[in-house]
């Protein structure tokens, strides 16, 4: 899976921001044709996207474009112009306001038609589905199973909060008066369960108070602890914190790799189904848990600092 610890939103109508984003350390950049672009600027923004994807230096980042939702008259032209103009340089399209599996299937079919017409590999371009309202949440299991192109489920908190009449004006913060627990816990867990049931990544939405990095870190740690793969970032100041929060610590990464080595030694050399790693008993469940942490560490570019030593017989 692609690393998406941080997914940086960049207005497609601002060439200066697009150029700056190429040098930032975010794992994914998505060029936004939807909310960040005024209606009068959308056609020009498409041209900016094509130029940026074909001429820019993205340094291995995941390259994504968020199109307008399919209830608008911009959506189909977004897809056609971007994919025909820069499909070979595009990793995914993000579809906002997904309420039903047919939304994702519409995009899948249109992508297939364009890929065949242009001679591109069919199915290479992935889809990120943004869940932004109550209808999308209720249908999330069907949405998660809607297309083999689907790579991620993305939480869109602003529109979602409005759709359920949540009493707050700060996107990503707890609503005033909600003092028992976390108002977002069910929402995040629902997205996470649907994603994991269908081998998708789960991405948390943005935190709008971009100058308060500590507050961003606090809310990012919540979703990272649950098991989310990453979070939207809206400002360069959030990128470093996001990458750190969604990467395992060096100690945890080393521990995970040691568990994998110890378990492989136990099952292949000693032919036992369980083993000891120091004072810790490990088994198949331990291996599965360690695989998650090890994969995240490798994707984050961590290197081992501890080597496994087989126990003496």
Query: What is the Cα–Cα distance from 53 to 29, expressed in whole angstroms?
Result: 11
Average pLDDT of the chain is 94
What's the angle, vertex CA 194, arms to CA 188 and CA 197, rounded to 5?
Answer: 135
Structure tokens at 207: 């935190």
Residue 205 CB coordination number (10 Å): 27
DSSP letter (8 states) at residue 21: H
pLDDT-derived band at 177 (thresholds 50, 70, 90) equals: confident
Q: Write the pLDDT tens digit of every residue in 58-96.
A: 999 999 999 999 999 999 999 999 999 999 999 999 999
Output phi, psi for 134, to 5 deg: -65, -40
d(CA 302, CA 3): 13
Cα–Cα dist 106/95, whole Å:
10
From residue 269, give the alpha-carbon distance in Å to each of 127, 262, 266, 275, 294: 43, 10, 6, 11, 22
Q: pLDDT tier at 115 (50, 70, 90 boundaries)? A: very high
**312 pLDDT exceeds 90?**
no
Q: For residue 24, what pLDDT band results from cuts at 50, 70 and 90?
A: very high
* pLDDT at 272 > cutoff 70: yes
Q: How far apart are CA 114 and CA 93, in angstroms?
A: 13
Q: Which of 217, 205, 224 is nearest to 293 (CA)?
A: 224
Give the dihedral of Cα atoms 235, 237, 239, 240; nearest 10 deg.
180
Confidence at residue 313, expressed as pLDDT on a 0 to 100 scale: 60
Confidence band, pLDDT 50/70/90 cuts, at residue 225: very high
Q: Is 193 exposed, middle or buried (0-12, 13-18, 19+ CB in 10 A)?
A: middle
**Element housing 267 (H / E):** helix 250-268
* C-alpha–C-alpha distance, residues 41 and 47, integer Å: 10
Summarize the confidence of residues 266-294 as an average pLDDT.
87
Q: What is the rounded CA–CA span in Å between residue 281 and residue 299?
A: 27
pLDDT above 70 covers a percentage of the chain that reads 100
Average pLDDT over residues 219-227: 95
Instruction: pLDDT band for 10, please (50, 70, 90 cuts).
Output: very high
In this structure, what token pair is assigned to residue 152? Answer: 């991620």
- Name the residue with tokens 């098991």: 227
Residue 68 to residues 34, 40, 45, 170, 237: CA-CA distances in angstroms?
5, 14, 12, 23, 27
**Residue labelled with tokens 């490798």:** 298
Mean pLDDT of 296-311: 87
CA distance 77 to 50: 13
Closest CA to 148 of 182, 215, 101: 101
Question: What is the mean predicted confidence (pLDDT) over 188-202?
Answer: 98
* Residue range 169-193: mean pLDDT, rounded: 89
């Amino acid at each position: 899976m692609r690393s998406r610890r941080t997914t940086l939103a960049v207005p497609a109508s601002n060439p200066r921001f697009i150029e700056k984003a190429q040098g930032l350390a975010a794992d994914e950049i998505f060029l936004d044709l939807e909310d960040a672009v005024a209606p009068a600027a959308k056609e020009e923004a498409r041209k900016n996207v094509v130029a940026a994807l074909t001429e820019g230096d993205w340094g291995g980042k995941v390259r994504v474009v968020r199109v307008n939702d399919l209830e608008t008259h911009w959506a189909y032209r977004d897809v056609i112009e971007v994919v025909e103009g820069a499909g070979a340089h595009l990793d995914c399209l993000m579809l906002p306001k997904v309420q039903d599996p047919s939304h994702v299937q519409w995009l899948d079919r249109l992508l297939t038609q364009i890929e065949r017409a242009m001679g591109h590999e069919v199915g290479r371009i992935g889809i990120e589905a943004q869940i932004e309202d109550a209808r999308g949440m209720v249908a999330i299991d069907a949405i998660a199973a809607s297309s083999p192109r689907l790579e991620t489920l993305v939480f869109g908190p602003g529109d979602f909060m409005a759709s359920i009449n949540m009493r707050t004006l700060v996107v990503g913060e707890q609503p005033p008066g909600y003092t028992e627990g976390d108002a977002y816990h069910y929402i995040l867990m629902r997205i996470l369960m649907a994603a994991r049931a269908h081998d998708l990544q789960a991405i948390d939405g943005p935190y709008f108070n971009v100058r308060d990095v500590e507050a961003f870190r606090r809310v990012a740690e919540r979703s990272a602890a649950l098991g989310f793969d990453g979070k939207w970032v809206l400002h360069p100041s959030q990128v470093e914190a996001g990458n750190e929060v969604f990467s395992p610590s060096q100690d945890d990464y080393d521990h995970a790799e040691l568990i994998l080595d110890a378990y492989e030694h136990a099952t292949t050399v000693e032919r036992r189904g369980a083993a000891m790693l120091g004072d810790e008993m490990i088994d198949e469940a331990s291996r599965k848990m360690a695989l998650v942490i090890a994969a995240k560490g490798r994707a984050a570019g961590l290197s081992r600092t501890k080597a496994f030593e087989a126990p003496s017989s």
